[in-house]
């Protein structure tokens, strides 16, 4: 059901410093910051030959990333994102298997302009999983 790894998301306490580190120290191709108000984050995508890294920074007072950073002040891996061919079919299959979909269960539009869903980390070995329709 899951396809290619789309990205690994890392919550960061200082977006400018993290962006500079990836661009300068690691020599990566870094896109400009992009605000995602529906998700409460500012994102920066780093393009790699085989996937992407997504830097996450809180946007607004109710950002879920702020809660993560409060518990992990240095930042850290927040979630991994897999592509699926049909997000609704994937949701239905996962729910039938007992997996919990976060939020309303209806896909939202993610940072790539495609439908996304998040799966409860307690159902996946402590890892928050994002599914994105390919």
Given this model, what pLDDT does residue 61 score? 83
Q: CB–CB of 36/73 below 8 Å? A: no
Residue 106 a catalytic site member: no
Whole-angstrom CA distances from 113 to 22, 25, 38, 42, 132 are 24, 30, 12, 15, 10
Given this model, what pLDDT does residue 126 score? 96
60-117 confidence digits (pLDDT tens): 888 999 999 999 999 999 999 999 999 999 999 999 999 999 999 999 999 999 999 9
Instruction: Say whether pTM exceeds 0.85.
Output: yes
The catalytically annotated residue of 54, 83, 130, 132 is: 130
| Torsions phi, psi for 62 (to 5 deg) | -100, 25
Ordered by where they begin, the domains of the chain are 5-133 (3.10.180.10)
């Amino acid at each position: 059901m899951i396809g290619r790894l789309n990205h690994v998301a890392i919550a960061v306490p200082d977006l400018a410093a993290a962006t500079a580190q990836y661009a300068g120290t690691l020599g990566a191709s870094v896109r400009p910051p992009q605000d995602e108000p529906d998700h409460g984050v500012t994102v920066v995508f780093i393009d790699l030959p085989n996937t992407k890294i997504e830097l996450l920074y809180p946007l607004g007072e109710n950002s879920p990333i702020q809660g993560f950073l409060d518990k992990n002040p240095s930042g850290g891996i927040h979630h991994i994102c897999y592509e699926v061919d049909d997000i609704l079919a994937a949701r239905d299959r996962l729910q039938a298997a007992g997996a919990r979909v976060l939020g309303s269960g209806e896909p939202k539009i993610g940072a790539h302009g495609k439908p996304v869903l998040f799966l409860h980390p307690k159902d996946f070995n402590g890892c928050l999983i994002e599914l994105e329709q390919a």
